[in-house]
Amino acid sequence: MAEFPLPQGEGEGEGIECLCIHCLGKAGMGGTRMTGRAAWLTLVGLLALVSQPAGGQARPDYRTADPRALVEAWKTVPRDEQGALAAAIVARRAEMLPVLWDAARFGDTPEKMFACGMIAEMRDHDGVDAVIAATADAEVRVRRRAATALRMLADRRAGARLRELVRKDSDLGVVKTALAALGRLGMAGDVRLIAPLVGHADAGVRVVAAGALAMLGDERGLALEVQATTSADPGVQKSATYALGFFKAAAAGDRLQAILADPQGAWKSYALVAQAERSLAGKPAATQVVLLDGLANGRSRTLAEWSVDRLTDLGTADAADVLRRVRDRRTPVGPLAERRLLLIGAQP
């Protein structure tokens, strides 16, 4: 499980149907108003019936289907069509977002997970409250996905809830993702909460806590991270390798170089991402775009996906130009770049 802001698809902790949301309450029979989850499930069930053609073969037209049908479609869409469905949702942003907010609150487990992921994918800060609500779900997979979405959104309104997750959630995956999210928020006061967890009994928590502190400018966990890059636990090793990108100390760069130079070095793609983090730190946006241009068009898919994420967050005209070049190369990263162009309104 990846707790730091790694490329889309790296797991949790880490990236559908408008009848107006307010009309959901009118779905009851005999004038009885239905609310919340009951209304959501009733309407999704009806839409699933009317959108399923005889024989169960065809799928809805993503461009014209009722927005709520797209939530339902995600649960059965073939993997090779997921990108097209996600792109349609991004293209229909205005009508989809209220539906996603409702799904994050009242859907079943797959719907909540999908909605939280898409809210983050679309950088929808108006959906933060819906994602925060999902962090209280009884299902741990929903809580992990919601925490990952909050990490990606990096919205300070989620700070109080993230701190509560660090203190109280029973699942270490949720705790680790919340730690990384707090690091990304960049609030120095969180050092006091995070620092004790560098001594946590779980190695994964220790590594993420040290990385989160580094994001806040506190590099006391550097030796821990360097040592963890040789851990017998692959997950710990991967997280530690990537976390070195948040350290300014020369020793972090030296260790990354050693990993890349070692023929047996593990997680080299994450070492490349960590090096890129260090290269971009403190640089103006225009300089970042130039650096990301080379990285997004390189041979490492992991590094290219990470670069596309960073270009999306920059959102400048120059960043859009780079995304177009990535899209037009027709590599496996091209569809992601195309969705991100839709997201920042920079087509064609």
The predicted pLDDT at position 297 comes to 87
Question: 149, 167 in Cβ contact below 8 A?
Answer: no
Tokens of 215: 């994001």
Question: 179, 1 in Cβ contact below 8 A?
Answer: no
Distance CA 235, CA 238 (A): 5
Three-state secondary structure call for residue 177:
helix
318, containing H or E segment = helix 317-328
Question: 247, 214 in Cβ contact below 8 A?
Answer: yes
DSSP one-letter string for 49-113: HHHS-TTS-----TTTS-THHHHHHHTT--GGGHHHHHHHHHHTHHHHHHHHHHHHHHS-HHHHH
The predicted pLDDT at position 347 comes to 56
Q: What is the pLDDT of residues 43-74, one digit of tens each?
A: 444 333 333 443 454 677 899 999 999 999 99
Tokens of 46: 């009806």
DSSP one-letter string for 206-243: HHHHHHHHHHTT--TTHHHHHHHTT-SSHHHHHHHHHH
**Which residue numbers in the chain have pLDDT < 50?**
1-2, 4-11, 13-35, 37-55, 57
- Longest distance between any two alpha carbons in the chain, whole Å: 71
The predicted pLDDT at position 138 comes to 98
Tokens of 258: 């050693």
Question: 154, 124 in Cβ contact below 8 A?
Answer: no
Calculate the alpha carbon distances from 154 to 149, 301, 345, 346, 347 in Å. Answer: 9, 24, 21, 23, 26
The CATH number for 186-275, chosen from 1.25.10.10, 3.40.50.300, 1.10.238.10, 3.40.50.2300, is 1.25.10.10
The predicted pLDDT at position 212 comes to 98
Distance CA 255, CA 107 (A): 45
The predicted pLDDT at position 150 comes to 98
Three-state secondary structure call for residue 130:
helix
Distance CA 202, CA 181 (A): 18
Sequence spans of domains, the chain = 1-153, 186-275, 282-348
Nearest residue to 320 via CA among 343, 301, 303, 300: 343
Distance CA 254, CA 216 (A): 21
The predicted pLDDT at position 17 comes to 20
Q: What is the pLDDT of residues 170-220, one digit of tens each?
A: 999 999 999 999 999 999 999 999 999 999 999 999 999 999 999 999 999
The predicted pLDDT at position 345 comes to 84
Nearest residue to 261 via CA among 271, 247, 276, 248: 271
3-state helix, strand, coil in the chain (%, to 5): 70, 0, 30
How many CB atoms within 10 Å of residue 318? Answer: 16
Distance CA 9, CA 73 (A): 19
Distance CA 301, CA 333 (A): 7
CA angle 224, 135, 311 (to 5 degrees): 65
